[in-house]
Amino acid sequence: MKATDIEEAITQLAAEPFDAVEFPFRLLEAFGNKETTLKRLRSGTSNASDKDGWVLQRSNIHIAVCAAGAVSETLKTLRLSPATQKAKAKFVLATDGDMLEVEELATGEAKVCKFTDLPKAFGLMLPLAGISAIRQIKDNPIDIRATNKLNKLYVELLKENPDWDGEARRADLNQFMARLIFCFFAESTGIFKGDHLFTKAIEQFTASDSSNTHEVIAELFRAMDTKIENRSRAKVRPFADDFPYVNGGLFTKRNEVPRFSRIARSYLLNAGSLTWREINPDIFGSMIQAVADEDERGELGMHYTSVPNILKVLNPLFLDDLREKLEEAADNRRKLQNLRKRLARIRVFDPACGSGNFLVIAYRQMREIERRIIIRLQGGTGSDEELLDLVSYHGERSAIPLTNFYGIEIKSFAAEIARLALLIAEFQSDVNYIGQKEARDMVLPLHDTGRIKTGNALRENWSEVCPPHKPASAIEEDLGSPIGRLASDAPAEPEGETYVCGNPPYLGGKKQDRDQKADIATVFRGRSDQYKNLDYVCAFFLKSADYLSIATRSALVTTNSICQGTHVPTFWPLIQKANCEIAFCYEPFKWANNAQNNAGVSCTIIGLRKRTAAPKAILSEGIRRLVSNINFYLLDGANVIVEPSSRNLNSLSRMITGNAAYDEGHLFLTPEEAQSVRVNYPELSSKVRRVLGTTELVDGVSRYCLWFADDDIAFATSHPFSGPRVQSVLQYRKDGGEVARTLVARPHQFRYRHEAKKCQILIPQVSSERREYLPVGLLKNDAVITHLGHVIYDPNLVDFSVLSSKLHLAWIATICGKLETRYRYASNLGWNTFPLPPLTTNQKAELTGCAEDILLAREAHFPATIADLYDPEKMPDNLRAAHDKNDETLERIYIGRRFKNDTERLEKLFDMYTKMTARAEGGVKPKRAKRGAA
């Protein structure tokens, strides 16, 4: 259930007469509970409460309707109730129909409000619907409520104006919506003088049948585009004359307004009734951008990137440095003035800006730093305690112009909202820092806002969108007094800085459409012919690297796949060739990208700069580790690239891909067919073998095939069961491609016929990233392993021990890359290159014993499948203990103890790989191995 649907249901519930009996069930219904669930609660079957009339839904909420005036006391009773604790309720809620209190038990967060204000509490309770609400939504759900109302208005306007629902008019409708948002915000914040000036004008001067609504709004917009002194000549109608001159580009284009239905007019008035001054421009912008996109309209609020995640990009990019310089300046007036001048010369550029989240947060953070500077210049310390008391700084206008914030956005409405979000952020900052009256006096007429270009970032010339800095003197002349005033106080002219930031689309090679593939080709053509399987985000990184001839630094969010597998040798040498390096990165983390689902995609943030001797930083939650170099796998180490190797660089056994059939499935049998052959054709029984690939091994699926020797061709061709199948294979290969046609002489066999003499190890091609270990299998020699698995024929158990270790999993997760989020194994990348120290006889015996213990622990749980055994939440204790012992034994061989984490494991392995490949080449820098099949 969507947050907007919940808000609507809660609003309706709060508006109805209070029903003490029905309220708990209506509340749960509003949060998406089905009728069958409510029926069980009503009957008492699933109601876990210990009080009659109260409702307790397990793992969710305990609700009580109480006597008048007893809400707080009842909430305390609910909180301490043994039933609440036993049922693991997340929330407790009490109401008497007049007041309402709700508390989230895990955090202690609570909301107290009138019952009729229940919609204000729904943000806190979103987890009841399985939605992990972000902090800002919990505190202030106005953004979802406003978005919901605008979404309904937008859809209704499209119904009434079908001619506006196409490419030719869509931009007009989008601009119209942006103007409405500004008017709602302006009347709620006092930018427009009078109480709800805009909404009341619509209510008073438009007909109830909506017939003239478009005409009235068009006249209001025309007034806002006409200077006061010109209105008489322009014949602005009296009802519009109370509106101020706005300009700033927002009302300067066409003033045509779509026609309204009665319903649309009602939605407009409802939207105007909200408290728009409370909106968060960083959240609201990313939610409202979905209003204009039909494909995304059902997912309002799904595009929000949380402030903490945005700051993971902006802080190490440039904000941390500004804060450090502020602390260094202390109360030195000259240093403080120069730092403020530096702030005024910083430009922030997001080439995939959406509705401007990164730009808005960057602006707000810079304003906060500027505020501390000004307070120190006025004789204060700028401490957190002092900032609570010093709300304003004597009406001094900010030196940070919105025109220093640049973006590119492919969707026109999102670009409009980005510009508007920056204006709102500026006004809200002014209110906070110089006071409400001063902010209102300065805001109109609007000045230029952020420079957001509507276009395709991979086709645009970034140096034209955000061109090189002008000399400081020219900027002072352009922008006037704020910076000019500062220039007289300090002689030093700061160099301009430009920082590139953002969260561009990721999109793996197989998920890109034709246009997106053409975008990538535009960026990579002439530099590499290996780009077709690269992630879409790689093109943004390469353009960033090129743009660093102008910019200071860049930092982009990306899935960590671009630092894994074949991406590394294909992509990162191009960054090197651009004379760029990784300045900082984050260790991979789950990126929470929206207000509703907090989808966990494994991401990193990579900061680029031109090469320099300055230290680099590897970041994680609360930790900043300075290193001399960050390699392309985001590790502390040399810029080594692990290349596919067709031979083992270690002492491990040879691994190859399993047997490809090239038979169109005719040589394979279902379990039922295999059993039928054994019963009805006993002479074929010895030719039926079990087949295993990834699915068969992991999930225990049974599958079989016909497996004939070279000299069985006459028998296989003439047999009544196998003959027709062999004939079908022959026809398929005759009609097939070049490889298939080479196999027509032996249509009774797979293309490859590798067999083990004693046993074999099957390594799945793809494995879930949730598993702590690779689910490898040791099989007898009569099984046929397909090309959907890798195989070691007649291995030793040291091979099994290494494959079953966390050390090897960390290596292949980094080196082999992933399919979506799953581990994707490649023997020429992950196995042949795996660094292994020389093993003594005793060490081999220890590892063999560990492998045997793992196999015995598995056997003890027969017939559990590999999927069952290696489910991280259900892994048997004896199997986990056997793996722990194996890890400890192997890791002790490397460093004499267990590794602390995967970072330490990988740094050791890369160091060994560098030395191993140097020895293999006789001390010469390793050449890239020619790529071949795994």
Give helix then strand counts, H and E, for the chain: 37, 26
The pLDDT of residue 301 is 42
What is the predicted pLDDT for the residue at 924?
A: 40
Q: Stretch 438-464: mean pLDDT, rounded?
A: 89
Of all residues in the chain, the percent with pLDDT exceeding 90 is 57
* pLDDT, average across residues 246-270: 85
Residue 312 dihedral angles phi and psi, to the nearest 5° = -65, -30
Helix, strand, or coil (residue 881): helix
Block residue for tokens 């074929």: 684
Assign 498 to helix, strand or coil: strand
DSSP 828: I
pLDDT tier for residue 169 given thresholds of 50, 70 and 90: confident
201-to-189, 190, 207, 220, 231 alpha-carbon distances in Å: 17, 15, 11, 9, 18
Please enumerate in sequence order all residues whose Cβ is within 8 A of that of 815, keeping only pairs 6 or more positions apart, or say none.
564, 565, 633, 642, 829, 830, 833
Res. 913: pLDDT tops 80: yes
Average pLDDT over residues 168-176: 82
Read off the pLDDT of each residue in 188-203 and give the average, rounded to a whole number: 89
Q: Which pair of structure tokens corresponds to residue 584?
A: 């900082």
Convert the pLDDT of each residue in 785-831 to its tens digit.
Answer: 999 999 999 999 999 999 999 999 999 988 887 666 678 898 998 99
Please check whether residue 858 is in contact with residue 869, taking contact to mean a CB–CB distance below 8 angstroms.
Answer: yes
3 state SS of 591: strand
Contacts of 889 (CB under 8 A, 6+ apart): 801, 846, 847, 850
> Average pLDDT, stretch 585-598?
63
Q: Hey, what are 749's tokens?
A: 């066999």
The whole-angstrom separation of Cα 778 and Cα 768 is 19
**pLDDT reported for residue 836:** 96
User: Which residues are bridge partners to 558 per DSSP?
Assistant: 604
- Contact between 798 and 886 (Cβ < 8 Å): no
* 286 phi and psi angles, rounded to 5 deg: -75, -25
Q: What is the pLDDT of residue 664?
A: 92
CA distance 462 to 456: 11
Is the distance from CB of 467 to CB of 461 less than 8 angstroms? no
Q: pLDDT class for 351, splitting at 50, 70, 90? A: very high
Average pLDDT over residues 165-172: 80
Please write the tens of the pLDDT for every residue from 736-763.
888 889 999 999 999 999 999 999 999 9
The overall average pLDDT reported for the chain is: 86
In this predicted structure, the answer to whether residue 133 has a pLDDT above a threshold of 80 is no
* pLDDT > 70 fraction of the chain, expressed in percent and rounded: 87
pLDDT for res 930: 33
For residue 45, pLDDT beyond 90: no
Using alpha carbons, list the distances in angstroms from residue 324 to 320, 321, 330, 333, 369: 6, 5, 10, 16, 11
Q: What is the arithmetic mean of pLDDT over 174-188?
A: 87
> What's the pLDDT at 923?
44
